[in-house]
Structure 1
Amino acid sequence: MATVHYELQKVRNGHYLFTLKGRNGEIILASEMFCSKASAENAITFARYNAPDEHNYELKRSTDEHPYFVLRGKNEQILGLSGPYSSESDARRGIKAAMECAATEEVMDLTS
């Protein structure tokens, strides 16, 4: 069984992003891209702090009507987005998983 953790990655054009992975190894939420590793690491800290509060989540629908959720910080900045779900109840379960898992201190640094 996988452990709950963040994965910090270096992606195209030298940018960085993080994902939060659940116990099943699937991505719960993914961040935007950041210009520096330090900014991505700070965003993980903000996600840890803001994720346990259900008021920081917003359920939305994509253009093809699939539900997904957004995690926002206290300043309304987007900290992470989920992938699309097949139903609103599944998206709500995803929010619950994010609330439970985001406090993890485990970070896998894959930037090397």
Structure 2
Amino acid sequence: MAGKYHLKKASDGQFHFNLHASNGEIVLTSELYKAKASVQEGIESVRRNSQREGAFEVKVASNGKHYFVLKATNGQVVGQSQMYASQANAEAGVAAVKRYAPEAAVSDES
């Protein structure tokens, strides 16, 4: 089973998406977008940038857990991961995004 983007509408009317791995786990969450066309552009940005060298940055949160962000070529964050217990787990999450993002189908649940 392939990964899937789940496009949703938040309670405040803005749009966002989650990229799910083949096991259903969320591996990347987007920022909020005011327009549906913008969230669709965000998905395309993840597709492109997930394959770009240097697009991912693994970070450590104040609680000591690890997470990663995916940045567009302009430096803007287009997605962020969940928190992971270790850097190795965060890097496995990066690998999952690289594997699923380019070909994942979009499920519009907005």
TM-score for both structures, normalised by structure 2? 0.96
CA drift at 1:62: 1.1
Secondary structure of the residue aligned to 1:24 is: coil
What is the Cα-based RMSD across aligned positions, in Å?
A: 1.0
Which residue in the other structure is 2:68 paired with? 69
What is the number of equivalent residue pairs in this alignment? Answer: 110
Moved over 4 A (4+): none
SS at match of 2:51: coil
Higher helix share: 1
Identity across the alignment (%): 35
Question: Which residue of structure 1 lines up, in the alignment, with residue 44 of structure 2?
Answer: 45
Residues 79-98 of structure 1: CA deviation (Å, up to 9, x unaligned)? 10000001000000000110
Pairing 1:103–2:84 present: no
Cα distance change on mapping 1:105 and 1:27 into 2, 3 Å:
closer
**Structure 2 spans left out of the alignment, 5+ residues:** none
CA positional deviation for 1:70? 0.3
SS at match of 1:93: helix
> What is the CA distance between 1:12 and its match in structure 2?
1.8
Query: Structure 1 pair 30/79, CA: closer, same or farther in 2 (3 Å)?
Result: same
Contact 2:2-2:100 within 8 A present in 1 as well = no
In the superposition, the TM-score normalised over structure 1's length comes to 0.94
The alignment status of 1:13 with 2:5, answered yes or no, reads no
One-letter code aligned to 2:40 = E
Give how far 1:54 is off. 4.0
